[in-house]
Chains A and B, each alone.
Chain A
Amino acid sequence: MTEPLSFRRRDRVLEAMAARGLDTLVLGRADNTFYASGMRGLWTAGTRPFGAGCVVIAETGRTHVLSTSDAGLPETMTKEDLYSLTWNPQVMAGHLAAIEGFAESTLIGVDEVSPSFERAMARIAPRADIVPADDLMAEVRRIKFDEEIERVEAACAVAWSGVEAVLQTPGNPNPIGTAIVAMAKAGTTVPASAPTVLRRGDETIIDLGVLLDGYEGGVGGTFVYGQRQATAPIVDACRSGANHADLANAAAGPWLVRGLGMGFENPVLDPGHGHREVLESGMVLSVSHRDHRDVIAVTDGPPRILSTRPASL
């Protein structure tokens, strides 16, 4: 029997830490915390100030998460692995110092750091060098497990339920509200990206992106009489081995190809960025070209489109 996804994700993080010789990983980003620990807090919109939301210790193989309650505790953790919410930096320092293995660390990776936290680390783990590890998390998240691809596909289906609700109510003065209600029924009330519904004559331009149980899905396009206009050639260009030039050649006008999983991820390619990136089998990408957007999984053959209109709708 396969191990639960949360164990497999955590083990990837631990392997990457070992490869870099990191004793400890301190994560501030909610998506990185979810990836490494399997624990997901309440969703809030917008950027967050840095805080140590998750600590991973190589020596013990344990993940520790900032949470006062054990609601949503994953199978990888026990309640003893939680440290409590605090407003007091000294109390936080005490929480971190109490984590087995933290204070003895010599190499600590961080996905982001505030000036005061970096200074505090010098007291909590005096022997440690602090190094960036945002790229470590980007690397482990880059290639998806099959189960993650299924989760993204399910999230895309939820986004489609919002699209269908908009298409079925052409005169509706609150189409985004209607999409929100439909997507709530289908599984989530959490947006990933800003919802778009624009009506121009016979055309309706729609783009919806959601997070379903932490995984993103979405779809965008121009609809005429309920039918989505043809796919963009850049979608088909997203194959294993494709590089920036391959994608640029398939596009005319603005385009963006970016990683998609627990939200917006690496790699990022657009006309001005990502010239060194090469697409690999197992990546999941959001592929935008003008108003068209699909979510695809890169394979050794043609891309597998995860944002196909579900037959059940």
Chain B
Amino acid sequence: MLLAMTSDVVSPSCDLKRMRKQRLARLRAEMANQNVDAAVLLHGPNVTYATGFVPDAVDASHVTYQRAVAIVTCDRVRLHTHNQTADLECETGSALWPELDDDMQAMRAAVQELAGDLAGQRITIDSVNGAMARSGLFDGARLVDSNRVLGAARLVKTDDEIACIERSQILTEWAMEPAREACTIGATRRDVAGVFLAALRGSGGDHNEIDPIFQPMPRAQSDGPYTSSGAIAFPTGVGNPTYEKGDLVWVDSGHGYQGYASDYGRTWIVGREPSAAERSCFDRWLTITQACYDAIKPGVTLGDVARQAIAANGGTRPWLPHFYLAHGVGLESAEMPMIGTDLGDEFDDNFVLTPGMILVLEPVIWDDGIAGYRAEEIVLVTDDGNRTLSSFPGYAPFDS
């Protein structure tokens, strides 16, 4: 049966200690590879990768002010955090407030204690905020974007990272079932989102990463918002629509386990069975997704996967032009590798898949004025092909 690669791992467990050790080793190897002397990290996923500490899944303004900061050198790693931490192998230091001019002296002392005088050193950082710029914290250092260093380290996942993503996905899929039942005529987006978020919480899911999307799609592009790409607008993320019979609802959300994101994408129909036209869109989506599965294995390029998908769609690109056919997932919900972005064909053709990379396939079918289908599947590149990271490989109401 198509896509029937149900995971036989019911609740994948990961060895957190081993995961943290392996990640730090990968980060240090990449720092050495790029001649980077030290890393000063303030972006949550990068802090997690370096230290194992997972910041709260709260508003950006809160985690920006009350930042966790990680400082990494070839022989030391230290975490400064506002939260209680336990069981981490790294050194820990007092809370820093890198947004405040008041705290730059403490910040400088923390960085210099591990990395020494930064002048002349090659330092990788996420960004420089105003307080850091005013204090001259990085004056004289040669700065490298963290995404070049951390991005490279994070690209191939360890077995424990894969287990975290799989576990995160299983929980999200489980919590989406009551939400799907709640997505009925007269319900609103917030009603459905509340059911989903409460179900997540009920199972210990305290790391929701996005205001969940349950977007009723206009049947014709001209009825929806304008887009500069000329494609259907998704996700729009505003308002609180009330669902009506026959609404085509595109669903997209993600949750983090140990910081590792899930990515749930499905199409639901409100209050009735799918029509023949809607089923036809779904069937084409399945065909394209299967073509991707057939293509994904070590040694092939992103371009190879894109060409298979295009061929299965009769020669046109089956994805939203401002997004991608597929994106990676890990400590961020969309990361490299990405297939079919505006980085262009040459980028895709030069990027070779290796075991441990993860792709979230999200082909989109849109027959303007009639219907569309969009769903997402998480695929791991294995030594001899690929494997779906999912426990509910169903597409209700389309496969019932």
Interfacial residues, chain A to chain B (CB-CB below 8 A): 28-31, 40-50, 68-72, 79, 82-88, 91, 111-116, 118, 131-135, 173-174, 176-178, 180-181, 183-185, 187-194, 209, 211, 216, 258, 262-265, 268, 273-276
Contacts and interface: CB of A to CB of B under 8 A. Distances in A.
A255 to B, nearest CB: 14
Contacts of B103: 273
A223 B311 CA distance: 63
Most B Cβ at <10 Å: residue of A41, A46, A82, A192:
A46
Given A30-B60, A47-B60, A177-B198, A258 B343 contact: no
B342 A86 contact: yes
Contacts of A29: 60-61, 64
A49 B126 contact: yes
Interface in B213-251: 213, 225-229, 233, 235-238
Given A49-B147, A273-B102, A180 B228 contact: no
Given A115-B145, A194-B58, A41 B190 contact: no
B14 interface: no
A80 B233 CA distance: 16
Contacts, number: 215
A142 to B, nearest CB: 14
Contacts of B207: 45
Interface stretch (B130-138, B152-160, B271-279, B379-387): B130-138
Contacts of B134: 132
B64 to A, nearest CB: 6
Contacts of A48: 43, 60
B344 interface: yes
Contacts of B128: 112-115, 118
Given A47-B42, A189-B212, A82 B55 contact: no
A268 B131 CA distance: 14
B63 A133 contact: no
The 7 closest A-B pairs by CB, nearest first: A263-B61, A184-B194, A134-B130, A177-B198, A42-B237, A132-B130, A71-B236
A184 B194 CA distance: 6
A205 B249 CA distance: 38
A177 B203 CA distance: 10
Nearest to A183: B194
A135 B333 CA distance: 30
Interface of B: 42-45, 55-67, 97, 99-100, 102-103, 125-131, 133-134, 143-145, 147, 190-191, 193-195, 197-202, 206-213, 225-229, 233, 235-238, 322-324, 333, 338, 341-344
B133 A132 contact: yes
Contact of B56 (A41, A83, A113, A194): A194
A303 B370 CA distance: 57
B211 A68 contact: no
B201 A46 contact: no
A199 B66 CA distance: 26
Contacts of A83: 228
Nearest to B65: A264
A222 B293 CA distance: 54
Contacts of B341: 87-88
Contacts of B344: 88
Contact of B198 (A46, A174, A187): A174
A45 B57 contact: yes
Given A30-B60, A45-B57, A46-B209, A134 B129 contact: yes
A128 B315 CA distance: 46
22 contacts: A42-B213, A43-B210, A43-B211, A45-B57, A45-B207, A45-B208, A68-B322, A69-B236, A70-B227, A112-B130, A134-B129, A135-B130, A173-B202, A174-B198, A178-B198, A180-B201, A184-B194, A191-B58, A192-B59, A192-B61, A264-B65, A268-B99
A181 B198 contact: yes
A137 B92 CA distance: 32
B210 A71 contact: no
A268 B60 contact: no
Given A42-B211, A69-B225, A193 B194 contact: no
Contact of B226 (A79, A178, A209, A265): A79
Nearest to B141: A115
Given A45-B208, A114-B128, A115-B125, 11 more contacts: A30-B60, A47-B55, A71-B236, A86-B322, A87-B341, A88-B341, A112-B128, A114-B126, A184-B197, A209-B58, A264-B64
Nearest to A114: B127
Most B Cβ at <10 Å: residue of A30, A48, A183, A192:
A48
A279 to B, nearest CB: 16
A183 B211 CA distance: 13
Contacts of A112: 127-130
B228 A47 contact: no
B165 to A, nearest CB: 17
Given A49-B43, A185-B191, A69 B233 contact: yes
Contact of B60 (A46, A118, A132, A180): A46
Contacts of A84: 228-229, 322
A148 to B, nearest CB: 15
A190 B43 CA distance: 21
Contacts of B342: 86-88, 91
